[in-house]
Structure 1
């Protein structure tokens, strides 16, 4: 759970502005409620000064309430193993945070539709940039990154590749630790996607590319449904009823006509008119 840094009152309850509820654990908020609350919290976040306890509370609660979006996006990459899935969730959460920080309410788009591409993009970048040929402890993976940065900085300053001793002094590590990190970096490669998925797989077996996530058709449906929600609310009761019967209950036009005591032709005209309204609403301005 993300720690909220809101201040506490004398009663022990954190002090939050009157126009915002105090949510102890945003991850337990139902997705339907999270969509509504997210808009309220995003609107409030734009008015707060970064670094204040209230800003921290609002931002952290937004992250918690929308972690389900990260889980939704991460399922596309579930074939990579439980250990790596933890990393996927972490980098997906980074994408969620970027979406929260960059979301603009004036664009009049659903936050979910805005956030999913950020989350998926961050996960794809993770897999593109981190391919290890052998298992390397997390400590050495992190050291590889630090060494790469230090080599770049020192190389620019010295106009030559830095020595082990210079890297050691720059990072505050022993020379043995630097050498261990440099050796471990040799296990970091950009491997071909056509190699077998594991050492046990034969040459004609599944490849690494077969395990990669692909565009999920359900993702487009997910975004379309969120975009349609507000427009469906603007329809009158009869229009919503016909849409529900036709696409929710999968009734034919003739069945709908009998149910509503209208002719099939009348139902066809109403359905065409209603779908036209929704189609226009989905088109870019």
Structure 2
């Protein structure tokens, strides 16, 4: 039986631990593994046994990340990949226990899975890394400060830029999308409502507001006489003959001013 089948066997996922954790005191096996030659058939068997003994650790870590939008089976498989990496990369000559090396290795594999495979839209890797660190930072700072930390507190804790932390908070909205057909509320008769049914319709006044905001600075930049003609004609609704009398000019001049001014405003607004 290969170690790949060991990783995917449901029976191993439900294996009962015998006494203490099965990965305790596993360091001597690494010494045995190092003493075997690459071609020694006992090497593959011993490596497989070491991986099998560490599978409960993978399940424990996978459960810590459960409930974050990913299926437990995917998390468990990713954690088991981390177990293989930890067994293959651990060096007993450093003197550290295997558990101290394996736990961050497996957790790093799971965090990379969240970072690289579970975002609904593309987000820069730097922001993904910060976003993954925000939760633990909030827990640590809440206990230390006795209150909810601010974005500045979190930025200082993570040694990150405040703008990056703020962007990471915003990036959380890109983690998972919601179907517009998903039921999120009920109406007055307790009938289910989808997200699409709760969205407002487009308001016709929005375009008017947008046009006003576009034209306002252009009107403010008009010469004084042009601005007076515009106000009297379109805001005071005066006929051209009255405008001409107020300004001491002919009606034909008022007509030309209006035509020139409106043409100029239209060209500038469309260009901007």
TM-score (normalised: structure 1): 0.38
Choose 1 or 2 for highest CA Rg: 2
- Identify which of structures 1 and 2 has the higher relative contact order when contacts are C-alpha pairs closer than 8 Å and 6+ apart: 1
